[in-house]
Amino acid sequence: MTPQNAFYAQSGGVTAVINVSACAVIETAHRHPDKIGKVYAGRNGIVGALTEDLIDTSRESDAAIAALRHTPGAAFGSCRYKLKSLEENRAQYERLIEVFRAHNIGCFFYNGGNDSADTCHKVSQLSEAMGFPIRAIHIPKTVDNDLPVTDCCPGYASAAKYVALSTLEASMDVASMSATSTKVFVFEVMGRHAGWIAAAGGMASTSERPVPIVILFPEVPFDQDAFLARVKAEVSKHGYCSVVVSEGVRRADGKFLADAGYTDAFGHTQLGGVAPVVARMIYGELGLRTHWAVADYLQRSARHIASHTDVEHAYAVGRAAVELAIAGGNALMVTIERSADDPYRWEIGSAPLEEIANREKHMPADFITADGFGITDACRRYLQPLIRGEDYPPFAEDGLPRYARLQNAPVEKILNTPFEP
Amino acid sequence: MTPQNAFYAQSGGVTAVINVSACAVIETAHRHPDKIGKVYAGRNGIVGALTEDLIDTSRESDAAIAALRHTPGAAFGSCRYKLKSLEENRAQYERLIEVFRAHNIGCFFYNGGNDSADTCHKVSQLSEAMGFPIRAIHIPKTVDNDLPVTDCCPGYASAAKYVALSTLEASMDVASMSATSTKVFVFEVMGRHAGWIAAAGGMASTSERPVPIVILFPEVPFDQDAFLARVKAEVSKHGYCSVVVSEGVRRADGKFLADAGYTDAFGHTQLGGVAPVVARMIYGELGLRTHWAVADYLQRSARHIASHTDVEHAYAVGRAAVELAIAGGNALMVTIERSADDPYRWEIGSAPLEEIANREKHMPADFITADGFGITDACRRYLQPLIRGEDYPPFAEDGLPRYARLQNAPVEKILNTPFEP
C-alpha cells in the first residue's frame, strides 16, 4: 500500500532558519518511504492548501533540499493569513480537508508561531470529526520567542545573535566617534509584545567587555525622565552609550512610543519607527548627538550570521515532527527542553497544541533588571547558549552566499475548483 | 642614533577595516626598528596630537596589535574635527609641529577621507616651512569611496559587501511575504553625495539570481512619478521589489528627499531617515505594504562580514605608507591601482596629496543605467572583485567576535601646556 503524502507549510514572518526545518521535514520523510509518500508544500503557506496550489518537493534535487539548511526566507513562500474561527468560517477548514483528501495527505506539518499553532490545532480537531484523520504537528518558529512551553523558538536565537553582534559593532563605532561627534546610538529591533529580541542587545556587554547599553522593553512602561537620566549618566561615565529599543515600547498610558504625534505635511499621523523618536528625544532634551538604525527584516533574515545552536534546533524540530507523526502523534507541537545551561544540554519534547495555541510567553520578570533598562544574570544564562556558535553559509565567487533557489514545481490539481481564501 | 618616532591617527567616520590599516602601520614599523622608533597614536584622531594626548602603541602585546586586523571601530578613537585653513588658524598647525617636535616624531600617518587628506597636505607643507620636516603620508579610508585617483578606498568594499548581502537577505524575506503581506522593502544606506554604497545593493541581483531592485542615487535627481511607476512595474512582474536608497537623494530642486516637510507635535521640522519617507510614499501613492530598514552604523562596522579584498587592501595601504615614509616620501597618499577586473589584479601606488585633497569622486555616468535606477555591467565589473571573499573574525564562547581591546596607555606629556582644539 502506498503510504500517504505529507503537507508542509510555512506561516507568518520568516526567520533565518525556517528553511532548516523544511529541510529536516523533507529529508526525514525521505528516510521513511514506507511511512510517508511525497512531501507537498503549500505555496505561500496555508493559502496554497486552500487554493490547491501545492508544490511537489520531490522534484527538487537532494542538493537543493540540503541547501535549504543554509538559506533564509521561506523557500515555498509564507503568508500572513489567519484562518477564521470554526464558527465563523467552517468552509475554510472543510476546504483544507477536501484538498488533503484529494491529494491523499495524511500528515499536516505547520511551521509557524502562535496563530499557526491555533490553526494547526483546529485542523487536527476538525479532520477527525470529518472522518479524515490527519496527524497535525506544529513545528515552532518565531523570532519573537513568545510560544509557551518550549524553552525557545527556532528563529529567535539567530535574531538574538544578529542583534547582540550588531549592538556590539555599532557600539564600537559610536565609542570611536564620541569624543567629538555622536554620543548615542539608538537601535530599533522587533518585538511588539515581548522584549526577547531587545534583551539580546544586552549580550554585547560582558564583565570583560563592558558596553553601556540601555534597553527599552515592551514589558516596561516607558518612563521618559528615568530613561533620559540613565542615558545622561551612561554618557557622563563612558562618553557614549547605545540604546536598544523594542518596536513595541509603550508609554504608561498604553500608547506606542512610536506614535509620537508626528504629522506629515498633509496632517496625517506618521507611524512606524520608534528609533527616530527616541533619537530626537535624546537630542532635544539632552543635546546629545545621536545616530539611529532600524534592523527590520535584516534581523530575521541574516542567515549569514545565524546561531549554530539555532540551526541545530530548527533541524531537530523538523525531524521530530515527522517522527512524531510516523509514531501516530497528533495535535502536538514539538518543543525544545533545556536540561542545563552550561554546558548547554537540551532535548526534543512535545506538548499538546491546546496548551500552546493563543498563549504568549513574555520575558520573565527576573530577566529584566530592577531599573527596567537591562538584563539580569538569569537572562544571560538563558541567552548565552542560544547565541553560541556560527553556521556560515557557503559563499560563491560573486561574494554572496549560495542560497538555494527551488524550482517549486506545482502538483497537478485534482479538484481544480476555485476557492477564494 | 635613535630613529624618530611615528604618529598615526584615525579620522572621520570609522570603517570595518580602518584598524587593519592601523595594524599594518604598527607591524610594518616594528619590522624597521632602525628607521622608526615608536608608533604613537593620536587619542581621538588629530585632537590627540593637538592636546598632546598620545597613545604608546609599543605598550600593547603583539597579539593585541595583530587582533586589530579583525576589529571594527577606531581602536584609538576617531574624530570629526576639521583643521581650519592655514590662514584662519595657523596656531593649530604650529601646535601640531610643536607636539611632534617635542616627541621626536618624524612621520605623520593620517588615516582618513577627503578632509583628512587636506589636513595631511597642510601638515606636510607647514612642517617643512617651519624647519621641522615630517614625512606626511595619507592612508585612504572611507566607506563613501569618494577619494580621487585611487581605484577604491579601504572600508568601502566591506560596506558594499554588507549592503549587497543585506539587500539579498531582505529581498528573500519580502519575496516570501509578498503573496499576502509586504510587497516592497526599502533599505536606506549611507552616501550624502555619491551613490557608491547604494550601487552595491544592485549586486544582490545577478542573471542567475534575478532580484527586482530599484536604486535611488544621490547623483540622479529624484523623479517621483518615474520612481513610483518603476516600483509598480516591478511588483506587477515579480510580486515584490526592494528599494535601496542613498541618504543623500535629492529632488530636482536640490532639496533632500528626507526633508519632506514632516513636523512633530511642536511644529519642528523632522529630519533624517529617507527610508520612511520613501516607504510612506509607496504606501500612500500605490497602496503597497512596505517595510523599511536603516543600516546606519551597521554598514560601516560589520567587521563580521568584511570583504576579504578590503582587508587585504587596508593592510596593504598601511604597510605601504610606512614603506613610503622610510623611503623619504612626503605629501603623498597611498593608492590602490587596478590592472584587471577578472581575475582581479591590483597593486599599490601613490599620488601627490595636492591631487587628492578636497576633490570628490562620484559614480561615473556609465555605472548608472539610463533609467537612473540601476547599475550597469561596467559597475558590476568594478564592484565584483571588491566584495569577493570573506574574512571572518574569530568568535568566542560568548557567541560574539573576539574584538581587540587595547590598553591605550598614554605617552608621558613633555609640553604639558594646555591647548584648546
The residue ranges of every structural domain in chain B are 5-155+303-358, 156-300
Q: For residue B38, is pLDDT > 90?
A: yes
Let me know if the fold of B5-155+303-358 is the same as that of B156-300: yes
> Pseudo-torsion of CA A377, A379, A385, A390, nearest 10°?
-110
- pLDDT for B286: 96
Q: For residue B342, is pLDDT > 60?
A: yes
Taking residues A22-47, what's their average pLDDT?
Answer: 97
Instruction: Return the CATH fold of B5-155+303-358.
Output: Rossmann fold (3.40.50)
Q: What is the pLDDT of residues A100-155, one digit of tens each?
A: 999 999 999 999 998 899 989 999 988 778 888 899 999 999 999 999 999 999 99
CA–CA separation, B69 vs A313, rounded Å? 33
| Contact (Cβ atoms closer than 8 angstroms) between residue B69 and residue B381 | no
Q: For residue A267, is pLDDT > 80?
A: no
- pLDDT for B260: 55
Taking residues B165-184, what's their average pLDDT?
Answer: 97
pLDDT grade for B265, boundaries at 50, 70 and 90? very low
- pLDDT for B266: 47
Taking residues B307-331, what's their average pLDDT?
Answer: 97
Confirm whether residue A5 is marked as ligand binding: no
pLDDT grade for B263, boundaries at 50, 70 and 90? low
- φ/ψ of residue A94, rounded to 5: -65, -35
Closest approach of B251 to chain A, Cα-based (Å): 16
Taking residues A359-374, what's their average pLDDT?
Answer: 95
Chain A residue numbers touching B74 (CB-CB < 8 A)? 176-177
Taking residues A77-100, what's their average pLDDT?
Answer: 88
Q: What percent of chain B has pLDDT over 70?
A: 97
Q: What percent of chain A has pLDDT over 90?
A: 84
- pLDDT for A266: 47
- pLDDT for B105: 97
- pLDDT for B82: 84
- The cell 539610463 sits on which residue? B370
CA–CA separation, B150 vs B336, rounded Å? 5
Q: What is the pLDDT of residues B375-388, one digit of tens each?
A: 999 999 999 999 99
- β-pair type (B39-42, B54-56): antiparallel
- pLDDT for B373: 98
Please, which residues have CB within 8 angstroms of residue A220's CB and are 6 or more apart in sequence?
A195, A249, A368, A372, A373
Q: What 8-state DSSP symbol labels residue B395? A: B
Instruction: Return the CATH fold of B156-300.
Output: Rossmann fold (3.40.50)
Q: For residue B396, is pLDDT > 60?
A: yes
Taking residues B6-24, what's their average pLDDT?
Answer: 97
CA–CA separation, B38 vs B61, rounded Å? 14
- pLDDT for A385: 98
Q: What is the pLDDT of residues A331-344, one digit of tens each?
A: 999 999 999 999 99
Residue of chain A nearest B162, judged by CA positions? A400
Which class is domain A5-155+303-359? alpha beta
CB contact under 8 A, A272 and B260: no
Q: What is the pLDDT of residues A56-77, one digit of tens each?
A: 999 999 999 999 999 999 999 9
CB contact under 8 A, B276 and A279: no
Residue of chain B nearest A158, judged by CA positions? B399
Active-site positions of B?
A: 144
Q: For residue B338, is pLDDT > 60?
A: yes
- Which strands, in side-by-side order, build the sheet including B241-246? A213-216, A241-246, A184-189, A290-294, B290-294, B184-189, B241-246, B213-216
Q: What is the pLDDT of residues A141-165, one digit of tens each?
A: 999 999 999 999 999 999 999 999 9
Picking from A358, A390, A421, the residue whose alpha carbon sits closest to that of residue A114 is: A358
Interface probe for A, chosen from B294, B305, B384 (most Cβ of A below 10 Å), is B294
- pLDDT for B153: 98
A144 is catalytic: yes
Q: For residue B284, is pLDDT > 50?
A: yes
